[in-house]
Amino acid sequence: MHQLPGSVELETETKSLEIKPVYWSIINREVRICHETGILCYETKSNSVPVGQFVGPKALTPDCNRFSFKVINEGVSRYIAIGLVHQRYRANRQPGWESNSCGYHADDGGVFIGSGSANTRLKKYHKGDIVACEFDFDITQYKFYLNDELVYTSKTCRIPPGGFYPAVGFHSREESVQLLEKEPWELPADQIGSLPVPLSFDTYKYGNLWISPGAVLNVISSRSKSSLSGWLLLFNPSRGTIAYIIHLDKKQYGTLGPRENFTQSVIVGGMDVEIEWFTVDTGRTYTEEAIKDEYSKRTGESRFFHRLSVNNMSTTSVTPAGMSRLLKTSTPCKPSIGYSMDVKVNGIHQNSFWLKRGKYQVYIPVLKDRRDQTTCIVRNPKFPTFDYPNCFQRGMTVIADLQQNG
């Protein structure tokens, strides 16, 4: 912890940046999860703003047939969705847009059932609302709830092979929700290691404030393109109330009561982000001026301080070995000229390249001197099967070191 002159650490402080997964997924695209609080945030570097997807690691069962979330941030357009999908759900598709899926969407209240058009319209949902999805295995119907009120019951439906999986969708910047149950997202102990850990926030834990991310705040170009923004999550695990000051281009002031959280995509100027906090009386409302007044009365011993370094992901360049001859591009190339290739790390877009037309082969590398310890899973494409053809097609994802034949 960075200390102010004369300040002291909390006696109950614990420090940890270790990520202990609680919420697992078989599909985790353009999102990041905080395992301490269950807060799920939309995060993408792509200017096209693809659909964010978080799909549970297992199908619903009669003993675990319901899940829900609370809307934390509506984002730019409130394109948030809850629903059920199958285990091979396509990328860039909201729940309900594809066959064998359904979804209840926040922006228009639409219920989508295997179609890009809403089958019916319900109440829209907003920040602070709690939305739930439940599947009745006795009569094979799904239901949607808004703030514990039943708002929709489907007709009898067919359960897809492998079952229905819980799904959350996003489709505009600065959207976030809080998952309210753990069981639908938990992975059985004997299956730990069978799935990659979802892209997650690490957390620095003090006695009365948990800060996520704990060390480095990843930022990208904001909507205006003239500033940078990134997710900052604060959580008060204590029984008391704290006041905080976040030092950005414009300082932010606020309070957190017991078990309350602050989740926001904050605008930064590229410098380190500093957070100060101190305890205040519980049950009292504090304005910005009141927090400033309380701050002026506090000595270094009663104020606490944490600093986050800033990493501009908009300028991050990832160029794997053997790809230096590829040319970067900001716009897709014409099919008559060549192919566009996107490079992603943990689902986050890093760079785009174009390749001349020609024949290419896929090579799966094995680390030298670790052949007995190294394994590699090709998640896509899986062919030949009924789901994928035995040749490359547009939209496929491969782990590849590209080498031109001939």
41/32 Cα distance (integer angstroms)? 5
The residue-averaged pLDDT of 275-282 equals 96
32/198 Cα distance (integer angstroms)? 7
178/142 Cα distance (integer angstroms)? 21
Q: pLDDT for 236-261, tens place per residue?
A: 999 999 999 999 988 999 999 999 99
pLDDT at 320 over 80: no
Higher local confidence (pLDDT), 87 or 379 = 87
236/210 Cα distance (integer angstroms)? 6
Enter the tokens of residue 5.
């002159």
What's the pLDDT at 250? 87
260/237 Cα distance (integer angstroms)? 8
Q: pLDDT for 153-198, tens place per residue?
A: 999 999 999 999 999 999 999 999 999 999 999 998 888 888 999 9
pLDDT at 212 over 50: yes
Q: pLDDT for 99-111, tens place per residue?
A: 999 999 999 999 9
Domains and CATH numbers, the chain: 27-191 (2.60.120.920), 204-314 (2.60.40.10), 318-406 (no CATH)
Tell me what the pLDDT averaged over the chain comes to.
82
Residue that is written with structure tokens 């501009």 in the block: 312
Q: pLDDT for 8-19, tens place per residue?
A: 333 334 444 778
Identity of residue 206 = Y
Q: Which residues touch 390 (CB under 8 Å, ≥6 apart)?
A: 383, 384
Identity of residue 347 = G
Q: Is 289 helix (H, G, I), strand (E, B) or coil?
A: helix
The residue-averaged pLDDT of 87-96 equals 96
∠65-113-150 over CA atoms, to 5°? 50
pLDDT band at 45 (very low <50, low <70, confident <90, very high): confident
Cβ atoms within 10 Å of 341's Cβ, excluding its own: 18
The residue-averaged pLDDT of 90-104 equals 96
pLDDT at 396 over 60: no
What is the pairing mode between strands 216-221 and 304-312? parallel
Q: pLDDT for 124-146, tens place per residue?
A: 999 999 999 999 999 999 999 99
Higher local confidence (pLDDT), 41 or 320 = 41
Identity of residue 122 = L
∠122-173-345 over CA atoms, to 5°? 120
By the 8 A CB rule, do 220 and 260 touch? no
pLDDT band at 367 (very low <50, low <70, confident <90, very high): very low
